[in-house]
Amino acid sequence: MNHLPDVLRVLDDALQLQGRSTAFTANTPLLGALPELDSMAVLAVVSGLEAHFGIAFSDDQLSGASFATVGSLCELVTESLDGTAT
Partner 1 sequence: MIQSGQDTLPQAFFLPADPGYRFCLFHTPQGTKPKSRVLYLHPFAEEMHASRRVVAQQCRSLAAEGHAVLQIDLLGCGDSSGDFGDATWATWVHDTLLCLHWLHEHTDQVPTWLWGLRAGALLACDATKAWHAQHPTEQLNLLLWQPVASGQQQLQQFLRLHAAAQWLGRSAMGEPPAQQLAAGQNAHVAGYSLSPTLASELEAARLDLPSGNGRVGIIDLSVSSPPTLSPWLQRQEGKWQSAGWQVEAQTVEAHSFWQNVVESSLPKTLDWATRRALM
* Contacting residues toward partner 1, per CB under 8 A: 9-10, 13-16, 31-32, 36-44, 46-48, 51-52, 54, 59, 62-64, 67
CB 44, min distance to partner 1, A: 4
CB 8, min distance to partner 1, A: 11
Of the candidates 79, 67, 76, 71, the residue with the CA atom closest to the CA atom of residue 25: 71
CB 82, min distance to partner 1, A: 20
Going by the DSSP 8-state scheme, the letter that residue 16 receives in this structure is T
C-alpha distances in Å from residue 10, one per residue of 48, 68, 86: 6, 16, 25
